[in-house]
Structure 1
Amino acid sequence: MIRTGLLLAAGASRRFGPQDKLLALLHGQPLVTHAADALRDTPLDHRIAVIAHPELARLLDGFEIILIPPGQQSDSLRAGLQAAGQPDRLLIALGDMPDVTAAHLTRILTAATEDLPACSHDGTAPLPPACFPQARLADLHSLNGDQGAARLLQDLPPTQYIDARSLLRDIDTPDQIAPT
């Protein structure tokens, strides 16, 4: 079984200001390193990072780097899908979610079946990270604009949702990062 991790880190950081938020320090480390470390510690065969800012590449040892211009969420996803090919499982994580752990990612990876994705859940809605089986990768190709995979995860059976309320914080603005 081929398991590929895909780190989406190509957002424009518009709400963060002029600095790329993924380079901002959180607990003494650039924000993107938290998600990257969790993926590094997850049992995967291959890791891909889609980035828009070349400075991020130096922080992503062990990842195949795909550099794209800043754009819509679906642009990042499509670039990552193209690089991934046809893995048996594609585990998608976001570079601005620093609290996600390797244990949580492994639970999502394990919960995905041949036919059904698995994803995080905050008690209200499905959220990334998510894992898609090969049979559902074509669904990801159908997304466009600033659409992530959330709409593809809406009607899954409860067994496919992994409760992670305390892990799903994402960083969008400077005030969400405590001084280090």
Structure 2
Amino acid sequence: MTKGIAPARVVAILLAAGSARRFGGDKLVTMLAGQPLVHHAAATIAAIAFARRIAIVRDACGWEPEAFGFERVATTGEAPQSASLKAGLRAAADAEAVLVALGDMPLVTVAHLRALMAAYDGRTVASACGGKAMVPAVLGSGAMARAAAIEGDRGARDFLLDGVTVAASPDMLADADTPSDVARLETIFAQRGRRHGSKRAALRLG
């Protein structure tokens, strides 16, 4: 199989239906760098011309997936992560491949998602950091079928070791499970803003 798959042949699935029990509230609409946390992940996916974009959300989510070009698929109650993943896979049943991402990982870049698709050869392509395979990840039809049979709060991780990986930094793959995580992410955003501001100033001086 030729290596790489075009975004137009991939359905993006954003998992954003977690109960956030450890956070103590709806973490996805907690403000981060001036906007709801989930908007960062949604905007990154929206910047790529996927075949479709599907957001798995709770039935009373506090943001509008449609504003980012997503189809909304609502779950009810305290569904485990595997239920959210399976809901996304059902909605994308005819897809050649899917890209699975999490709504509480705001630092993932467009370039990283493109690198995952560029590495796809029919096998699963996962993000890798510290020896661990994790999402975001691209799943082909075989992995999609296996993932559709999982149970409990396992998500896709059990299927991410079967293929290849694309390295990413710990910051890029950081998620927000607690208020202290959000505070750390806010610091990273601020540091990035200062670096970008310094580069712009250097260009003006040059």
**Which string of whole-angstrom CA distances, capped at 9 and with x for unpartnered residues, describes residues 122-175 of structure 1?**
03200110001123210111211001111111243xxx2111123100000011
Larger deviation: 47-56 or 82-91? 47-56
Q: Secondary structure at the match of 1:16?
A: coil
CA distance in structure 1 between the partners assigned to 2:59 and 2:104 by the alignment: 14
Matches within 5 A, 1:1-180: 2-17=9-24, 19-61=25-67, 62-69=69-76, 70-114=78-122, 116-156=123-163, 160-165=164-169, 166-178=171-183
**Which string of whole-angstrom CA distances, capped at 9 and with x for unpartnered residues, describes residues 50-91 of structure 1?**
001534442542000001013100010111111112211100
Q: 1:155 to 1:82 in 2, by over 3 A?
A: closer
CA distance in structure 2 between the partners assigned to 1:104 and 1:177 by the alignment: 21
Q: 1:57 to 1:24 in 2, by over 3 A?
A: closer
Q: 1:82 to 1:13 in 2, by over 3 A?
A: same
State TM-score, norm by structure 1.
0.91
Structure 2's unaligned 5+ residue stretches are 1-7, 191-206
Structure 1's unaligned 5+ residue stretches are none
CA distance in structure 2 between the partners assigned to 1:176 and 1:136 by the alignment: 31
State TM-score, norm by structure 2.
0.80
Q: Give runs of ≥4 in structure 1 deviating > 6 Å.
A: none
Highest Rg: 1 or 2? 2
CA distance in structure 2 between the partners assigned to 1:59 and 1:3 by the alignment: 18
CA distance in structure 2 between the partners assigned to 1:124 and 1:25 by the alignment: 31
The RMSD of aligned alpha carbons is 1.7
CA distance in structure 1 between the partners assigned to 2:143 and 2:82 by the alignment: 16
Tell me how many residue pairs correspond in the alignment.
175
